[in-house]
Amino acid sequence: MNIVFMGTPEYAAKILCALTVAKFEIAAVFTQPDKPVGRKQILTPSEVKVYAQKHLPAVPIFQPATLKDEAVAAQIKELKPDFIVVAAYGKILPQSVLDIAPCINLHASILPKYRGASPIQSAILAGEKQTGVTAMLMDAGLDTGDMLDFAYTPCEDKTAAQLFDELGDLAGELIVRVLQNFANLKPLKQDGTQATHCKKISKSDGLFGFEQSAEQIYNKFRALTPWPGIYLASGLKILDLEILRESCGRKFQRTGEILHVDKLGFCVSCGEGAVKIIKVQEPGKRPVEASAYLNGKRLGIGDIVS
């Protein structure tokens, strides 16, 4: 079985790894162009490219700026793929590519919920108890194609980073199962009336205030860890926090008030419930334990954190 693989981040690299271990023939790998990263803007390859160079040295790697170029479609057609497997590639597949072979996308949500660019973060933000991966046949729409199979996992208290890692493994198992049983699968149409959509996460999404409920703040922290993280209007970034479950549903007279302090951190009142702040970082400074931050600012019980 001849596979053209398209993907970019670690999530996709895990899927490519699963295909490799299962002995599928990888005809080519398509991934995003190398991008400048960090303050020094060092040109950095994608995780998929790094994996392919190390484990699939004989497989050609393509990094086109767009797939809309007719020459790219012709190039893919020459490879004569049985399937095109797509996972967080980050580029739109034009009809000229979709027509070459069945294109199977591994989308990190249970469709039709959370179509779009940030399904994992959006599921956490919404307080979902369960999420997963959908294997779907791609069409011209955004994550609107017929569904082939699913893999599920509980969200529990996992961060987006933890779910990305877990869902990458699940997606790898899922695509192997789907390809091996493709002839027997019956595609299921999505119910468009149940569809929800999610946008690309930006740095500004990390802004929060203690007027929000503890549940909302905790979900935001989990969803936006490690990037962009969550921060107050003052720029104070919260690097670690816990939700105080026993406080959920409780209302306080003031939000942002320090309720309790111990060696591990300090508890803060929210719009509903309370959270415990464990580690913080001020703009331009190093991360510090929450207790050290309080000592430096001379803050204590009854004071307001903003």
* CATH classification of the domain holding 182: 3.40.50.170
Note if the bond before 36 is cis, omega within 30 degrees. no
Q: What is the pLDDT of residue 29?
A: 99
Enter the tokens of residue 107: 């989308």
Return the H-helix or E-strand segment holding 291.
helix 290-297
- Angle made by CA atoms 118, 135, 7, in degrees to the nearest 5: 60
The reply to whether 140 and 275 lie within a common domain is: no
The reply to whether 81 and 112 lie within a common domain is: yes
Domain boundary among 152, 170, 198: 198
Range of the domain at 245: 203-304
The reply to whether 160 and 173 lie within a common domain is: yes
The reply to whether 21 and 142 lie within a common domain is: yes
The reply to whether 114 and 233 lie within a common domain is: no
pLDDT digits (tens, 9 = 90+) for 259-295: 999 999 999 999 999 999 999 999 999 999 999 999 9
Domain boundary among 171, 198, 225: 198
The reply to whether 179 and 285 lie within a common domain is: no
* Eight-state DSSP code of residue 206: G
The reply, when asked if residue 111 is annotated as ligand binding, is yes
Beta bridge partners of 4: 28, 84
Q: What is the pLDDT of residue 256?
A: 98
The reply to whether 44 and 186 lie within a common domain is: yes
The reply to whether 157 and 56 lie within a common domain is: yes
| Phi, psi for 147 (deg, rounded to 5) | -95, 140
Residue 281's CATH number:
3.10.25.10
pLDDT digits (tens, 9 = 90+) for 58-87: 999 999 999 999 999 999 999 999 999 999
**Beta carbons within 8 Å of 300's beta carbon, 6+ residues apart:** 258, 261, 294
CA 252 to chain centre: 34
Cα(61)–Cα(30) distance, rounded to whole angstroms? 6
| Phi, psi for 243 (deg, rounded to 5) | -90, 140
Q: What is the pLDDT of residue 38?
A: 86
Q: What is the pLDDT of residue 39?
A: 84
The reply to whether 29 and 172 lie within a common domain is: yes
Does this model's pTM top 0.85? My answer is yes
The reply to whether 191 and 217 lie within a common domain is: no
The reply, when asked if residue 112 is annotated as ligand binding, is yes
CB 230 within 8 A of CB 217: yes
* SS3 state at 70: helix
The reply to whether 234 and 189 lie within a common domain is: no
Note if the bond before 226 is cis, omega within 30 degrees. yes
Note if the bond before 112 is cis, omega within 30 degrees. yes
Mean pLDDT by 10 residues, the chain (306 residues): 97 99 98 93 97 98 96 97 98 96 98 97 98 98 97 96 97 99 98 97 98 98 95 98 94 97 97 98 97 96 96
What burial class does residue 118 get, using C-beta atoms within 10 Å of its C-beta: 0-12 exposed, 13-18 middle, 19+ buried? buried
The reply to whether 127 and 237 lie within a common domain is: no
**How many structural domains is the chain composed of?**
2
Domain boundary among 136, 166, 198: 198
Cα(194)–Cα(229) distance, rounded to whole angstroms? 30
Q: What is the pLDDT of residue 50?
A: 99
